[in-house]
A and B are shown apart, each in its own frame.
Chain A
Amino acid sequence: MKKKDTDNLPEVKSENRMGRRDFFKAGTVGAAGTALGFAAILSKRNELAAKVVKNKSIKLHEDFPVKISDDLKRFRQKNTVFSRGMWDNAIKGDLGKLIAFETHDKNGWSPLDRAISLAGWSMEDQFAFLSKLGNPMTPAYAWEGRVREDKYKFKSAADATKKVKKASRFLGADLVGISKYNPLWGYDPLYVLTKNKEVPAKFPFQPKSVIVMAIEMDYRTIATSPSYISDSTVGLCYSRMAELANSVTTFLRELGYKSFGSGNDIAMSIPYAIEAGLGELGRNGLLVTYEYGPRVRLCKVFTELELIPDKPISFGVQEFCKMCGLCAEACPSKAIPFDRDPTWKGKTISNNNGAYKWYIDPEKCMKMWGENDCACINCVASCPYNKPDMWHHRLITGITKLPGNPLHYSMVKMDRAFGFGNTYDQKAIDRWWDED
């Protein structure tokens, strides 16, 4: 038997060996780390962290955060650019081209792309015909319907608000907020497009509250703007608006409360959404939400049920918009102003003067839609707030709340450098049908 040569074994330095104490320390740290990791997976810590970041980023207001003057009046609906497409010869041609749905031999405007667009619009066309242009009293948004005689007694207004919001989210709202009924945001007189007739804004009951709901449009589909493909998510969300508003209306009527829904008709959705705390007003004239930016569609339900209104919010959008202007650059018709500061007056009869905001030129916008053969949504696609709801985008949104022009300027440049906000992106259009 060979004897082991123990003299020539390599010397093991004692300080490099892991002793029992070190082993237990390592094990404890490792176990703690693993437990933390599993805690992140198994618990709702991510959602809680997201909530904490959101609450820190958002400021609540007591009053309406957009300055308004005495010049602001209820708007005559006949003067919206959509309504003018019915009677104003300057706009008729553009609207006519838009609803002709012509196709071209180009990805994004092919018969296949037109088909998906019209498929998205199908429910809106069937049950809320022309409500996208403001036509009131369509079947999905009917003012009257069966209402249970016995009113359900909620424990309190807070309880009613909580249950209504839960029902709205369950029925399809991505965001929901409550506003008091404010006649200033309503059109008067209303304009029935199909009859080319004005009617007074007299509802069958006096609404007390307005439930405002936002539906998220698909991020990757919006990235194909302007094309029939991007129009498909717009149309799909209009169809969902009709279903959602009708469902929430039915929910409330089944509890004995008179209610009716609204899309683009009856009243302006954006100021109601601001009142309801869903977001801020952006340079592009749209609601910019914390979660999805301007990539939402809005509908509302007017009800006699008294609910607790939410407070308007801000999270730095107005200040950021002053420095940004990417939507104005991306707008093909230059309908969005480049001015640094908002103004009190718009340029056309389709603007409702009296609010301190950036006024878009809806005539230029409509003209471009007609030339494009379908609606454009570049102002949404190009907005830096238009991001998927992921932690790193929410963190950046939180940072935009910090003041400072150099910071905002560099964030605007970084947004483009990192590849976000492209429009006329032929690659996005080409790969859309191949993505899952």
Chain B
Amino acid sequence: MSFMWFLMGAIVVGIVWTIYSWIKNNQVTLNWPVWTGMIIGILLGLFCFGWVYSSIIEGENQSAGMGLLVFGGVTLIVFFLTRKKYKKDNLEVTE
């Protein structure tokens, strides 16, 4: 289980660095709804990863699968909506 927390820490670092690089390289400015959506999506994704990992460790495969479906699905929806919001805001700016 300790390895799971270590992996999560590494994933968080990777995500933070990726976002930082993307913002810097593309000189992007994000508003608070997009930031909120991104953070919520990342937290949900981490929770999904943790749930699936822990369920597999304790031998509850159905729980792992359902966790991936439910929490992973919600994560994707949040990211989709955030991306849509970002694109809409960007389109308004360029007009």
Binding site for B on A (CB under 8 A): 15-16, 26, 29-30, 32-34, 36-38, 40-41, 46, 220, 388, 390-392, 414, 417-420
Contact = CB atoms under 8 A, between A and B. Distances in A.
Interface stretch (B30-38, B51-59, B72-80): B51-59
A29 B13 contact: yes
A329 to B, nearest CB: 19
A40 B5 CA distance: 7
B30 to A, nearest CB: 19
B94 interface: no
Interface string B14-31: 001100000001000000
A33 B54 contact: no
A37 B12 CA distance: 11
Contacts of B45: none
A391 B54 contact: yes
The 10 closest A-B pairs by CB, nearest first: A419-B62, A33-B13, A37-B6, A37-B9, A40-B5, A41-B2, A418-B63, A418-B66, A36-B9, A392-B54
A420 B58 contact: no
A33 B2 contact: no
Given A41-B2, A46-B1, A390-B54, 8 more contacts: A30-B17, A37-B10, A46-B5, A388-B58, A390-B57, A390-B58, A392-B54, A419-B63
A420 B25 contact: no
A172 to B, nearest CB: 23
Contacts, number: 62
B67 A33 contact: no
A33 B63 contact: no
A393 to B, nearest CB: 9
Contacts of A46: 1-2, 5
Nearest to A13: B25
A16 B25 contact: yes
A418 B9 contact: no
Contact of B6 (A41, A220, A391): A41
A220 B17 CA distance: 42
B5 A41 contact: yes
A417 B6 CA distance: 29
Nearest to B52: A392
Nearest to B11: A33
A40 B50 CA distance: 15
B12 to A, nearest CB: 7
Nearest to A395: B47
Contacts of B57: 390
Interface of B: 1-3, 5-7, 9-10, 12-13, 16-17, 25, 50-51, 54-55, 57-63, 66-67, 70
What is the interface of chain A mostly: helix, strand, loop, or mixed? helix
A33 B13 CA distance: 6
Contact of B10 (A26, A33, A417): A33
Contact of B59 (A16, A33, A220, A391): A220
A44 to B, nearest CB: 11
A280 to B, nearest CB: 24
B7 to A, nearest CB: 8
Contacts of B51: 392
A217 to B, nearest CB: 16
B63 A420 contact: yes
Given A29-B17, A392-B54, A419 B9 contact: no
Given A15-B25, A40-B5, A391-B54, A418 B10 contact: no
Given A26-B17, A392-B50, A419-B60, A40 B66 contact: no
Interface centre among A388, A417, A418 (most CB of B within 10 A): A418
Contacts of A220: 59
A6 B55 CA distance: 56
A26 B16 CA distance: 10
16 contacts: A32-B13, A34-B10, A34-B13, A37-B9, A40-B9, A41-B6, A390-B57, A391-B1, A392-B50, A414-B66, A418-B62, A418-B63, A418-B67, A419-B61, A420-B60, A420-B63
A391 B4 CA distance: 12
Nearest to B6: A37
Contacts of B54: 390-392
A384 to B, nearest CB: 12
Nearest to B57: A390
A30 B70 CA distance: 31
A417 B5 contact: no
B6 A38 contact: yes
B6 A40 contact: yes
